[in-house]
Amino acid sequence: MLDILQTILVTIATLAILVAVHEYGHFWMARRCGVKVLRFSVGFGRPLLTWTDRSGTEFVVAGIPLGGYVKMLDEREAPVPTELQSQAFNRATPKSRIAIAAAGPLANIVLAIFVYWLIFLNGVTGVAPIVAEVEAGSLAARAGIVAGQEFIAVDGTATPTWETLQMQLLERIGEDGDIHLSLKYPDSDLVYESTVALSGWMQGVEEPNPVRELGVTLYRPALLPTLDKIMPDSPAERAGLLSGDVVLAIDGKDVASWSEWVDYVRGIPEQSATLLVDRNGQQRQLQITPERKLDESANAYGYVGVSVAMPEWPKEMQRTVDYGILGAAVAAVDKTWQMSVFTLTSIKKMLTGLLSPKNLSGPITIAKVASSSVQYGFFSWLTFLALLSVSLAVLNLLPIPVLDGGHIVYALFEWLTGKPVAEQVQIWANQLGLVLVVFVMVFALYNDVLRL
C-alpha cells in the first residue's frame, strides 16, 4: 500500500513540475506580448485550489494531474469587449503567436538544462564498460573483441561508462553501415579499433539491449549469497535470518552464488529446508519453509522474503567526472541537445518501422519509472525529470495541430503569406490532430498494460 501511495505522489509531483514549467512559459511570453491570460491551470477537472492575481488571471490547481493549460483572451472562443480586443490572442501578430506557442517547450528545455546542470555540478559517477564475455559467432566476436577489453569510444564519441556506451549504441538502432568501436585494456594505453557491419540492426526489437545484441556481457561483481533486507513477517524473519547473514549451504548443498540460493528456494515451495549460514564469523543452522506463490503463468514457486546485499564495484572500475560551475553548464547544454536529437531520431525511426512502436510508453510506465528512480536517490529522479522535460518539449514542437508545433505552423503560414489559415481548415486539422494524439495516447497506454 505504501509503495502504491509513493508511486502516486511521486508521479503527481513529477508531472506537476513539468506541466507548471511548460504552461508558465506560455503564460510569461503571453504577458510579454500583451496578450491577456484568463486562466493558468495545472491539471484538469474540478479545481482544488484557485486564486486570482491583480491582472485578473485565475490560477487553478485541478484534480486530474495529467496536463494543464493557459487560457488566453480570444475572440474565436467568446465575445471580447472593445476595450480588450487589442489584448486578444487572435489579434496578436504572427511573430507574437509563434513566440507564445514556442515558449512552453522552450521552458521545458530550460528546465532540462538546469536539472542536468545540478546533476553535473554534483559530479557524475559511472562504471567502466569492461567486457566480461563475448558470445561465440556474435558481431563482437567477428569484430575481434575479447574479454578484458574496455569500450572507450563508439563512432569517435567517448564512452567512459555503461550509460554512455548504451546511449551511443542505441543511436544506431535500425541502421545499416559500419559502427566503429574503440577499445583498450585497462592497464594499457594501446587502442584497438574494431568495425562492425550493421544491417537493420535491432530493427523492430521490442526491448533493445544494444550491448547484448553485440554479443557482449559487461563485467559486474559476482552476487554472493549475502542477505540485505529481511521482509517483515516473512519466512526469512520467522526462521531467524538477519541482515548480513551469508548462506553457506541449504539441505547439505553448498551455495556459492546468489542465483544458486534463489533457484533452490524457488524450487521448494512449502517444503522445510535446513540452512547453514555464517553470522559474524560463526556458523549457525536454521530451518526455513518458503511460502508458495504463483508467477504470471500460474506456476508455483518458493518465496522467503530477502534481498541481496549489493557488492561494491572495484575502485579502478569506477569513473568519476567532476565539473566546475561553467563546465557543468556546458555539459548540461550538451546533454539536453543530445537527448533532444535522440528523441527526434527515435520518433523518425518509429514512423519508418526501424524502431518497434511497442517501445512507446504511457502514464503507467512513467509512474513506475518515476517511483523506482526515487528509490535510487534524488539525483536518479532528477535525471528522469530532465529526460521527461526534453521529451515533452520535443513532442510539443512537432507540427501537429492542437500541439504547440501546430500553432507555430499556422502563425508561420500567416507570417509568410500575409493571410491566416482558413478557419474551417484549422477546425478540420485540429480534429485530425486530436484524433492522432488520442490514438497515440491510447496505444501508449495499451503498451503499458501489456508490460504489466
Catalytic residues: 23
Nearest to 174 by CA among 333, 348, 33, 19: 348
Nearest one of 59, 39, 36 to 48, comparing CA atoms = 59
Nearest residue to 59 via CA among 41, 37, 75: 41
Q: Which residue has the cell 509503495?
A: 3
What's the one-letter identity of residue 135?
Answer: E
Contact 216, 131 (CB under 8 A): yes
Alpha helices of 2-93 — where are they, by DSSP H?
A: 2-32
* 215 within 8 A of 250, measured Cβ to Cβ: no
Residue type, 85: Q
Side chain identity at residue 117, one-letter code: W
Rounded CA gap, 331 and 353, in Å? 32
Residue 297 and residue 63: Cα distance in Å, rounded?
Answer: 37
C-alpha cell at 174: 535500425
